[in-house]
Structures are given as structure tokens and as C-alpha cells.
């Protein structure tokens, strides 16, 4: 039940943003506030499959057979998934650095990916602690969901959103790397298929929420900047010289 509550919280948070978007008379750039409910379908299905599959008898059997097919008891590991999970995020900044500009400037895209990262981290941690699923290699009880896969798909969606107007192939390459990261998590016997599928959904949904909420966060910061005022003046108290500062909010 705890896992369903986490999923429900994410969806309700997204729908709340959508409701505010329709009322967004005070938001300056309404082009940024387009909300498409269809965008929830794929990540919600992925998360739902992972949550249902980890307890469903037939899906558990498929989970086990699929993982055995991927790993086939290979002893050799390929730990490059530690690096590939962040490759799409690094690519966004790298492309901007070489002059291929994306959708947002440095400040805005950093706020967006930080927001998505907080959502991924909080959701993954909550699910791991509430479910306590054993990893395929028996190394711990934090298998569900796959945090590496969630981070990889968070970055893939980030790369897609930033560069979809430049070329769709940036997004496709990001998702290909993310899928490869998920595959390696299973190959290295760190996660089951349902862990990886749920992680992918969490990553995609977290980035979408980050983009939908960004105009509100940005507007909030603008209001704070406008309401902030202050003054600096020298002072002398008979013994010491200095500067006094007065701030008002």
C-alpha cells in the first residue's frame, strides 16, 4: 500500500500543477504552461507494472526467467552503468558548452534537473524503504525500484525536452543509453526487470513534473527578487567605523 501512496502522490502533484495552470492568470509566459494529460500515460503504466509485477505470481515468474536470460549466470560484470546513468544529463550541458543551444538557459535547466533529481531521490528512497525487496545477487533489500535506471531515464527525458526542437535524435540517443543502463543493472544482477521498469517510469515522470512546475517556481523567485530591497550606510559609534545594512522583504 505504501508504494501505491507514493505513486498516487506523484500523480496528484502533477494534476495539481495542471489545475493551477488553467488558472494561471498571473504567470507571464503561458506558452510554458501547456499540460498534456497523455504525457502521464507511459510513465504511469511503467510504474504500475513494476508495482503490480513485484507481487503478482505470473509476473514474478517472468521477472525471474527474464533476469536469468539476461545474465545467464555470467560472472563477468560491466559496472559502466555507474557512469551511463548520468550521461544524458552531462550531454545537455556539454552540447550547450560547444554552442548547440537547448530550450533553457543554464539557470533554468539547472533548476529543472535539480527538481527532477529531488523527486527521483525522494520517491526511490521511500519505495526502497517501504518495500525491502531483495536484490538478485542477494546483496541487500533495496532492489525496488532501480535508482540508477530512474536517474538515467530522468536524464533522457531532460535531454529530449531540451533538444527536441533541435533534433529528435538527441532524445532517442538519450533513451537508448537509459535503456542500456537498465539492461546493465539486470546483467550485473543488481535489479529485477520490474525494478528497472518502475525506475524508468519514475525518472520520466519526475522530469515531466519538474518542467510543469518550473514556471511556478520561476515566478516565485521573480516575486521574491522584486520584493527584496535594502540599503547600506556607513556608521561610527564613537569607537568603531563600519557599514550598516538594512534589508526588507
- Cα–Cα–Cα angle for 189, 91, 127, nearest 5°? 40
pLDDT band of residue 111 (cuts 50, 70, 90) is: very high
- Arithmetic mean of pLDDT, 142-165: 96
pLDDT at 234 over 50: no
Label residue 51 left, alpha or beta by phi (over 0 means left) and psi (-120 to 50 means alpha): alpha
163-219 pLDDT, tens digit each: 999 999 999 999 999 999 999 999 999 999 999 999 999 999 999 999 999 988 777
Amino acid at each position: 500500500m505504501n508504494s501505491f501512496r507514493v505513486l498516487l502522490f506523484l500523480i496528484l502533484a502533477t494534476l495539481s500543477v495542471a489545475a493551477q495552470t488553467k488558472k494561471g492568470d498571473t504567470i507571464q509566459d503561458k506558452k510554458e504552461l501547456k499540460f498534456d494529460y497523455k504525457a502521464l500515460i507511459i510513465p504511469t503504466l511503467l510504474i504500475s507494472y513494476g508495482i503490480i509485477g513485484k507481487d503478482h505470481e505470473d509476473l514474478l515468474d517472468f521477472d525471474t526467467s527474464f533476469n536469468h536470460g539476461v545474465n545467464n549466470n555470467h560472472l563477468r560484470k560491466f559496472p559502466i552503468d555507474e557512469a551511463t546513468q548520468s550521461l544524458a544529463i552531462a550531454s545537455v550541458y556539454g552540447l550547450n558548452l560547444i554552442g548547440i543551444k537547448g530550450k533553457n538557459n543554464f539557470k533554468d535547466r539547472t533548476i529543472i534537473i535539480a527538481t527532477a533529481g529531488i523527486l527521483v531521490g525522494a520517491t526511490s528512497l521511500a519505495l526502497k524503504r517501504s518495500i525491502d525487496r531483495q536484490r538478485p545477487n542477494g546483496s541487500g533489500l533495496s532492489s525496488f525500484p532501480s535508482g540508477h535506471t530512474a536517474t538515467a531515464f530522468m536524464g533522457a527525458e531532460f535531454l529530449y525536452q531540451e533538444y527536441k526542437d533541435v533534433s529528435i535524435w538527441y532524445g532517442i540517443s538519450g533513451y537508448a543509453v537509459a535503456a542500456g543502463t537498465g539492461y546493465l543493472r539486470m546483467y550485473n544482477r543488481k535489479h529485477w526487470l520490474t525494478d528497472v521498469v518502475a525506475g524508468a517510469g519514475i525518472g520520466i515522470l519526475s522530469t515531466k513534473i519538474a518542467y510543469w512546475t518550473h514556471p511556478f517556481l520561476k515566478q516565485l523567485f521573480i516575486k521574491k527578487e522584486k520584493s527584496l530591497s535594502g540599503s547600506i550606510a556607513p556608521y561610527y559609534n564613537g569607537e568603531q567605523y563600519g557599514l550598516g545594512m538594512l534589508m526588507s522583504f
